[in-house]
Amino acid sequence: MANRHRALAAIAALLGWFALVLQLSLTIQLTLARSGSVASALWLWIGYFTITTNLLVAMALSARAIGPRGQINRFFGRPDVQSMVAMSIVIVSLVYNLLLRGLWQPQGWQWLADVTLHDVMPLLFVVHWWLAVPKASLHWWQIGFWQIYPAAYFVYVLIRGAANGWYPYPFIDVATLGYPRVLVNALAVMLAFVVVAALLMALGRWQARRSS
């Protein structure tokens, strides 16, 4: 990977880690103000797809910036994993901006964290994916494997929601909508994942053919 691309990955990784830590600190402050604990704040923080996906983004960018040192970096540096992360962070931005942004008006540091996690990091990662990730090894069948992460997150949310009654997003709130409606909503979102994955795959394979 060219040095300029590695530098871009490093800068984006640092920004991603900063935004994650900032959001965690804000979540802790809010939870403590409501007589909660640090542990409950961490549990709340890790419940959002935005957070889990931005963690993957930060790890994927760090892996590309550092290079293939260690099994974790080699895994996150793989083109198919980088592409799965690109698919996921694009969905984070699309769902938030189309369905969720109007539900609240963050201010101050919360606004900065919100914009960075939902707008800036998706843009930076897609640019990184386009410029720095080799695409020759991508194959259409990999799209199915890319869906394991969002499907696993959905199961995770249903399990923890059944345990404590809390769901991170209104369109998967079983307590309000019921399981049939939530499953329909989940299938619609999963279709969006597949469409974005197919678009990225088509673009990636086209780019690989042009550069070969």
pLDDT tens by residue, 50-105: 999 999 999 999 999 998 888 988 999 999 999 999 999 999 999 999 999 999 99
pLDDT tens-digit readout, 32-56: 999 999 999 999 999 999 999 999 9
pTM above 0.75, yes or no: yes
Label residue 35 left, alpha or beta by phi (over 0 means left) and psi (-120 to 50 means alpha). Answer: left
CA distance 56 to 61: 8
Q: Which are the contacts of 158, defined by CB distance < 8 A and separation ≥ 6? A: 172, 174, 182
